[in-house]
Structure 1
């Protein structure tokens, strides 16, 4: 049920979808006795879309998420394993073309491949099934293996987890595959904005991981007040950040994570 709600109500609440929907409702009201309300609704929706698209709002939404965890410190030595979260490969497009098609967050795979070369004894788990509400046979993990091999990572080191539909299942299924022993150190590779929610869910699953954030969208505090020239880029940042905050609130409210904004573990 949680998965279904996240793919319906959760998607409808994203600013771009919500505001466009409000604008459409306003347009429909123009031919009714509520025409005045319809005009106001359209104006408000248009103004808010412009704010989301051109203003620094997306930077302010993303920055607290991306800055929550520092870059990983390699000084502690080689990790025993690396978990890479899916989200970079479009399973449906990959199935249609017979080759891995990236839709974004390619840094996750590139960083993991670089780590694999740096630490040749580390195991690699790629966790990525299908996040579609109506599932089919297309799975990210089915195409990720070939990408890793093309980047010089031996197939023998790879484990492809293809059943997960969301981050909670990423954590649970990855733990089952890794079966981490006491004292083992596992890295978690995912986008910086996605790291707080991911770490919270991995902790809840009892899988201690060391965050390895990648795929930043905001450079730092100096970029917080940068305006966007192309509205769709600004809207994408706002939607991405709001999606994460909605996920954090929903997971905390349902007890799936123990903190609203998980951070670095205490020393």
Structure 2
């Protein structure tokens, strides 16, 4: 129920979607007796889209999330296993496709080569709400990892999870980690606080290995506007989603902290 509700609610409350829906509502009301409030609704939606598309707002929203866990030295060992969260890969026309978070996958391959004794665990099923998928993210991960030369015997693929909470719970049951083992968790830096929170709640002691940074880490992150609206809107949407997700997961009891840290 939580999965379905989260998908439906976020479709409406996603800042970009909400601004577009409000703009559409404004257009409809413009030809009615509510024309005056329609103009205000249209103006507010336009300002919101402008701030997300061309101002430093996306970086301001994202930066605290990305600063929460420090970067690590990839060569530091030993490593028992590397857990890679889905959200970056899929399969289309029988081949691998990746989105703007593809570095989750490429960093996993780099870590696998630096630590040849480590297991490689990928967790990600199909998060489709309307149609039933015939392939999963895990299928894409298998194609990619084996295509790049990783030994199939090292791979552990979890293909049932649909969200971060299920990533943690299903992976914990699948790998059964032992005390004293060192497991790295690889996901986007902006997604790491929520991810660490649910893995801790699931009783899986993982070590944060953040990748896929979308802010530069420089002081001008807070003043530098974007020049490409589509990229800025994507970053803004992901940033706001993570903050809402942190609150929702805490209220649902999926994490013990509102803003998990090191």
Give the TM-score taking structure 2 as reference length: 0.96
Within-5 A mapping of 1:1-267:
1-73=1-73, 77-90=77-90, 94-95=91-92, 97-134=93-130, 135-222=132-219, 223-264=221-262
Please state whether the residue corresponding to 1:130 is helix, strand or coil: coil
C-alpha distance in 1 between matches for 2:187 and 2:203 = 18
Please state whether the residue corresponding to 2:106 is helix, strand or coil: helix
C-alpha distance in 1 between matches for 2:146 and 2:197 = 30
In 1, are the aligned partners of 2:74 and 2:111 still within 8 Å (CA)? no
Tell me the CA shift for residue 138 of structure 1.
2.1
Please state whether the residue corresponding to 2:156 is helix, strand or coil: strand
What value does the CA root-mean-square deviation take over the aligned residues? 1.2
Please state whether the residue corresponding to 2:122 is helix, strand or coil: strand
In 1, are the aligned partners of 2:77 and 2:115 still within 8 Å (CA)? no
**Could you list the runs of 5+ residues in structure 1 that have no partner in the other structure?**
none
Output one character per residue of 1:195-249: Cα deviation in whole Å (capped at 9) or x when no partner: 0000000000000000010000001142221101111221111101001111001
In 2, are the aligned partners of 1:218 and 1:224 still within 8 Å (CA)? no
Output one character per residue of 1:11-55: Cα deviation in whole Å (capped at 9) or x when no partner: 211111000001111111012110111111111111111111100
Please state whether the residue corresponding to 2:88 is helix, strand or coil: coil
Name whichever of 150-159 and 160-169 sits farther off: 150-159
In 2, are the aligned partners of 1:116 and 1:122 still within 8 Å (CA)? yes
Count of residues paired in the alignment: 260
In 2, are the aligned partners of 1:141 and 1:162 still within 8 Å (CA)? yes
